[in-house]
Chains A and B, each alone.
Chain A
């Protein structure tokens, strides 16, 4: 991890590998479990994976209040590192940030990959697009989040206090950025036409937190998106089916732009 200074914001950033640049925006939780996935991506890419402010041990997020702020922060990061033709990958919360970036500017991006992205409201006012993660005991939440939760969900008893604090901080920051409106920006749908770059929407077949039908709605609402469903994965395919996700990203980037 190195710490970048992005216009006065200290951003812990994992940078690894060589090849074309890939900006990876992580999901709301379980960052530690994504390590192997970032390593796999680093075989073909120069992976730049910032930790959202407030996540990780070092930083606070006192003046960054919303996903809008994170979108501007990472647009600044692209400017600061002078990156062009970047493949932007966003998982869940990271996908929402990626969408907010793209409606503002995708001048430095070549392609967009959304993995189980949240952020857009499609359903009516008396329905939720995403299960209420904050209000379920883990025994109910884990089977919604993972295809095989007994293998992939965190086991608190086996974790160090440092790891438990990491999980606690992740939940804290998820509330900070996503409490109300719950994991979406009510105005974002109106501007999705601006996300006019080749987009791959990846979805875990067994995702019951944000269902594959939501992925279909999202892909349909974007100007140039295709949906691919990943078998044997819930909401975090990058954890449960890392290889399949890497293969899908590689294939998508190699195919000529339509």
Chain B
């Protein structure tokens, strides 16, 4: 199994002041650039450490938010392409339906792949619903734009005999000619995030790696099954290395220490969805049926959608009130001593039918740098060797 350390680099110092909305409407006067600089350097140090620990690296991006100050994912990718030597670098990812210059995306990924000498893993993501707002991209046709961008980016990265023409529905260029061409041939591996059986099936048909993010015991099996179905429909083998799962991981030398670390990182889960309903349900982002369902949910009209995490028995729990045990029960978190984490991971791995990549949130929320370093180090020394065989 490959393990990837991920952090959103939250600007947690502003959380208390912001209250119920951490996204879209948060004024940047609450962001002190000196504190932000410290957070960037700290996060980059932790990612760079992964190179020594045998872990791989995952970055992402969000916009106009105090939950993630990585607003341009290719910037940490670029720094890490130079600072690291062995780790693979996953960007999960680039919201290509919200990017109005798809050729620029091909250039950024190609350049990163060359600088890192072929260590880039190339994520294309739909992006969370609240991400259409900062981009002002039309949610009503987001996925048709996404797939056209996907087609254009891959063609731009794999065409090596001069300019080609692209006059599509959303993107028009008459002279596409990307330099440099990527190091990996024909192009870096493609990853997609999925959040439903429908999107997983489409990914399976194409044979890409899927990242299923915090989908837990209840939702993940159907997502993975849909991927296998999609793969089979095209005669593809859905090997383990096609499946990734994201969870919060807190390891400690005692149960209490592991739980405390997980609890601090879980502030990610408690704050990530603090967003107004009008940003959480842009029209057309979801299906008509899903939007209709949202209209009925309590609090929708007041702008406060209800959210919960789902325990193994199906019960919904408010993430703000949920304990570490409940997050473990839900399959969103693995925490405790190395033995406990290995046992929890193996149980979840078996339940969903196996996966080849763990996307590990080893930092998040209020956990300190020292605790993060210890968390990553303990994981790499005590857990990784015992779960590596699973992949």
Chain A residues in the interface with B (C-beta under 8 A): 134-140, 156-157, 161, 164-165, 167-169, 171-176, 179-180
CB-defined contacts of A171 to chain B, threshold 8 Å: 283-284, 291
Docked Cα-Cα span, A107 to B137, in Å, equals 37
Kindly state whether residue B45 has any CB partner on chain A within 8 Å. no
Known: A172-B284, A179-B138. 7 other contacts (CB 8 A): A137-B301, A139-B302, A156-B295, A167-B292, A172-B288, A175-B282, A176-B140
Kindly state whether residue B278 has any CB partner on chain A within 8 Å. yes
Q: Given A137-B302, A157-B296, A175–B138 Cβ distance below 8 Å?
A: yes
CB <8 Å contact, B278 and A168: no
CB-defined contacts of A174 to chain B, threshold 8 Å: 283
Kindly state whether residue B139 has any CB partner on chain A within 8 Å. yes
Question: Which residue of chain A is the closest to B292 with respect to CB atoms?
Answer: A164
How many residue-residue contacts, CB under 8 A, span A and B? 70
Kindly state whether residue B133 has any CB partner on chain A within 8 Å. yes
Kindly state whether residue B364 has any CB partner on chain A within 8 Å. no
- Nearest-neighbour CB distance to chain A for B35, whole angstroms, equals 28
Question: Which residue of chain A is the closest to B299 with respect to CB atoms?
Answer: A137
Chain B residues in the interface with A (C-beta under 8 A): 133, 136-141, 276-279, 282-284, 288-289, 291-293, 295-296, 300-303
- Nearest-neighbour CB distance to chain B for A235, whole angstroms, equals 17
Q: Given A167-B295, A168-B295, A171-B291, A134–B141 Cβ distance below 8 Å?
A: no
CB <8 Å contact, B139 and A175: yes
Q: Given A171-B283, A176-B284, A134–B291 Cβ distance below 8 Å?
A: no
CB-defined contacts of B278 to chain A, threshold 8 Å: 134-137
Docked Cα-Cα span, A139 to B304, in Å, equals 11
Question: Which residue of chain B is the closest to A135 with respect to CB atoms?
Answer: B278
| 10 A-B interface contacts by CB (under 8 A) | A134-B278, A134-B282, A136-B278, A138-B301, A156-B296, A156-B300, A168-B283, A172-B284, A173-B140, A176-B138
> By CB atoms of chain B within 10 A, which of A138, A173, A180 has the most?
A138
Q: Which residue in B140, B291, B303 is a CB contact (below 8 Å) of A139?
A: B303
- Nearest-neighbour CB distance to chain B for A165, whole angstroms, equals 4
CB-defined contacts of B282 to chain A, threshold 8 Å: 134, 175
Q: Given A172-B288, A176-B141, A179-B139, A135–B295 Cβ distance below 8 Å?
A: no
CB-defined contacts of A140 to chain B, threshold 8 Å: 303
Docked Cα-Cα span, A166 to B293, in Å, equals 12
CB-defined contacts of A136 to chain B, threshold 8 Å: 278
CB <8 Å contact, B277 and A137: yes
Docked Cα-Cα span, A157 to B276, in Å, equals 20
CB <8 Å contact, A135 and B292: no
